[in-house]
Amino acid sequence: MAHDEVGGAGLPQERRIVTAIPGPRSQELEARRKRAVAPGVASSMPAYVVAAGGGILRDADGNQIVDLGSGIAVTTVGNANPRVVARAQEQLAAFTHTCFMVNPYESYVEVAEALNRLTPGDHEKRTVLLNSGAEAVENAVKIARVHTRRNAVVVFDHAYHGRTNLTMAMTAKAAPYKKGFGPFAGEIYRAPLSYPFRDDAAAGTKVTGEEAAARAITLIDKQIGADDVAAIVIEPIQGEGGFIVPAEGFLPALVDYARANGIVFVADEVQTGFARTGAMFASEHEGIVPDLVTTAKGLAGGLPLAAVTGRAEIMDSVGAGGLGGTYGGNPAAVAAALGAIEAYEQDRLLERAGAIGEIIVRRVEALQAKHPEIGHVRGRGAMQAIELVQRDTIDPHPELAKAVAGHAAANAVLVLVTGTYGNVLRFLPPLTISDALLEEAFDVLEEGFAQALG
C-alpha cells in the first residue's frame, strides 16, 4: 500500500479530484452493488471509500473528498483515530467475543464507569451497552416502562429515533422511514416541538421556549394524561429532523414537568453526544439533567456500540436477564470506545468543536447575506445546518439543497441533506478536520450556491 493510501492520521490532508466523482472504479463497484445489495439501503454519495482520516475520505479512484458528514456524526474523533485503532487491534488479538452475558470482561465495566461519569448529573448511575442507537432507544423505553409501570411514550414532531419497529413508531417522518412498514408499536404519542424558525414565522412573533413547552404539555395532559406517561423521549437538538435547536427554556420546562409527574425524561443524545456540540452532551447547554441518556455514534469512533445510562434507581428496576443481547458491549467496540473517550478528554476536542462551529457560522452567515434562500442558520459547535427556502417565504426549497449538495459532491466535498422537508444542509465534520480543508469546502459550497441561484 502506497504511503498516501494509509488511512487515519497518515492520509494527506488535501482535496483531490483525479476522476469524475464517482469515478470508473466506483461505478464498477456500484454496478456490482446493484446486483448484490438490497436497494432499500441507499447511499448519499456513491464514491467507494478505501481510506479515511483527518477531514478526508479517499475513494477507490484516488479522489480525496472533504468529509462534512462524519458518517452521520460517528467519526467525531476522526476516522481510524490512532487511539481507537490501537486499542481495538490489541483487543482483537486477545479475544473477539465471549458475550458479556456469559463471561464478562473489564473493558465493558470501564466504559460503563466512563459513561456514568461523563453524562450530565452527579447522581449515582448505571449503564447497559448495546449495538445501535435504535437499540438504545428501545431499551430506554423498556426501562422507563418497567420503572414507572406505565405505557405511554411521548415523542416530538420531526423526531428521529431509529428504524426498528418501536423506534419507527417514534420517528416522525413517513417516507422513507415508515411508509408501508406498519403496523407500528402502540402507545406512542407525538407532541409539538419548539422549532424557532417555523414557530416564529407562523406566530408573527417570537415564541419562547416556555410557550412552546406549554403547548406540548397541554397536549400531553389532555390527550394522554400525565399519570399514564412512562417517558418523554427527545433529542436535545434534533438530528435527522434538521438540526433543530429548540428555543431556550423549552427543554428545562419539559424536564420540570416530567419530574413533577413521575415521568422518565430520556435525552436521545445518539447524534448530539460526545463533543459534537462543543459540550460533551447537548443537554449541558441548557443545564438539564436527563433521567436516562441514550448514546451511540460518537461513542466508539466508528465501531458499533450504544448505551443507555441513567439514574441508578431507574436502571435498577429491571431484574437480571431483562436487558442484554449477544453482541452488546462487544470487546473490540468497548476497547474502541475507551480510545475515543481518551481522545475526547485529552485532545481538547470540545474546544475544537467550538472553533469549527465558529468557522462554519462565519462562512454560512456571509453566504446568507448574499442568498436570502438561506432562511435559517442554526446549530451548536460542530453540528451546524442551514435551512433553505424559496426567496422571501418559509416554503422549503429541497431542489436547492439537492443542487448544492450535488455540486459539492462533484467537487469532492461531502455534505448531507436532511430535514423533514429535505431542505436542510448539515455540516458535521470530524473534529480532526483542518481549518484549511473546512474553508476550502465552504469555497466549494459558495460556488454551488452561485451556480444554482445565478
DSSP string, 82-96: HHHHHHHHHHHHH-S
Q: Which residues bind ligand PLZ (CB under 6 A)?
A: 72, 132-134, 137, 160-163, 235, 239-240, 268, 270-271, 296
Backbone angles phi, psi at 416, to 5 degrees: -95, 135
Strand order across the 292-295 sheet: 125-130, 306-311, 292-295, 264-268, 229-234, 152-156, 188-191
Label residue 178 exposed, middle or buried (CB < 10 Å: 0-12, 13-18, 19+).
middle
Indicate the residue whose CB is closest to ligand PLZ: 133
Q: Which is nearer to ligand PLZ, 61 or 240 (CB)?
A: 240
* Residue number, 51 or 270, with CB nearest to ligand PLZ: 270
Q: Contact at 8 Å (CB) between 430 and 386?
A: no
- Cβ partners under 8 Å of residue 18, min gap 6: 61, 62, 63
For residue 306, the minimal CB distance to ligand PLZ (Å) is 6
What the block records as the C-alpha cell of 143 is 426501562
Closer to ligand PLZ by Cβ: residue 40 or 319: 40
Min dist. Cβ of residue 272 to ligand PLZ (A): 7
Q: Find the helix or strand (DSSP H, E) in which 386 lies.
A: strand 383-388
Angle at 38 between CA 73 and CA 133, to 5 degrees: 30
3-state secondary structure of 204: coil
Q: Which is nearer to ligand PLZ, 239 or 302 (CB)?
A: 239
In the complex with ligand PLZ, the residue whose CB is nearer, 58 or 161, is: 161
Minimum distance of ligand PLZ from residue 133's CB (angstroms): 2
- Nearer Cβ to ligand PLZ (65/303): 303
Residue 218 beta carbon to ligand PLZ: minimum distance, rounded to whole angstroms: 25
User: Angle CA(111)–CA(117)–CA(121) in degrees, nearest 5?
Assistant: 140
What cell does 300 get?
466508539
Hey, which bits of 226-319 come out as E strands?
229-234, 264-268, 292-295, 306-311
- By beta-carbon proximity to ligand PLZ, the closer residue of 199 and 240 is 240
Contact in structure between 153 and 189 (CB atoms under 8 Å): yes
Return the number of the residue (115 or 134) whose C-beta is nearest ligand PLZ: 134
Minimal distance, residue 271 CB to ligand PLZ, in Å: 4
Output the nine-digit C-alpha cell for 39.
436497494
Task: Return the H-helix or E-strand segment holding 377.
Answer: strand 374-380
* Residue 159 CB, nearest approach to ligand PLZ (Å): 8
CB of 75 to ligand PLZ, least distance (A): 13
**Cβ at position 438, least distance to ligand PLZ in Å:** 22
